[in-house]
Amino acid sequence: MYQSEWTTKPVLHIFPHWNWTAGQEVDVWAYYNNADEVELILNGKSLGKKAKQNDDLHISWRVKFEAGTIKAISRKDGKVVLEKEIHTSGKAFKIDLKVDKTTIKNDAYDLVYVTVSVVDKDGNLIPNANDLINFEVTGGGKLVGVDNGYQASLDSFKANSCKVYNGKCIAIIQSNGKNENIQLKASTGNGILDSAIEIGVK
């Protein structure tokens, strides 16, 4: 919302996730900028175009859920600015790890933030996943923090594991003073495929 209102960076964001009960009515919101309108499409069928009016911060549609793909297209002067899709996810398949940078300084200050997601075989987020992720860090780094964004959580931020909340959590890595690359392994032990990444140290 802040980016769409206060920056010139092109923004198009739709939510919530697209895993519901057939026929359930879902409020789908879109934030956008640098465009005249947004069209919402469900499984190839247009649900109409809408534009913000007056002081609106977003636009919305009430949509009857059907499994598949919900897609938003923003346009300016009739030309496409951005497209965003959300897919109905299947069964939890693996852990996905994404880093905010691939190298870290060999000091006591630099940090790497690793976004951890439980996804299906096609890489779609499992929005209701709550699996416990176990972390193992070897080489030139150490795990200095975990979190999942759940405000009522009483779990330690300094643990070696973290439950995903709405399918996601975060692990924070720091150098341990050794001048060697860092390996991070994430696992659940419940049939979901493990994942590992390497972070360079400089």
pLDDT value at 114 more than 90: yes
Domain 94-201 belongs in CATH node 2.60.40.10: yes
Q: What does the alpha-carbon distance between residue 167 and residue 67 come to, in Å, rounded to a whole number?
A: 19
Please give the pLDDT value at position 170: 98
What one-character-per-residue DSSP string does 57-88 give? Answer: S-EEEEEE--SSEEEEEEEETTEEEEEEEEE-
Please give the pLDDT value at position 83: 98
Dump pLDDT digits (tens) for 22-61.
999 999 999 999 999 999 999 999 999 999 999 999 999 9
Q: What does the alpha-carbon distance between residue 70 and residue 47 come to, in Å, rounded to a whole number?
A: 10
How confident is residue 108, by pLDDT bands cut at 50, 70 and 90? confident
Dump pLDDT digits (tens) for 147-182.
999 999 889 999 999 999 999 999 999 999 898 999
3-state secondary structure of 55: coil
- Percent of all residues in the chain with a pLDDT value above 90, rounded to a whole number: 96
- Do the first three CATH levels of 2-87 and 94-201 match, i.e. the same topology? yes
- Fold type of domain 2-87: Immunoglobulin-like (2.60.40)
- Ordered by start, the domain boundaries in the chain are 2-87, 94-201
3-state secondary structure of 6: helix
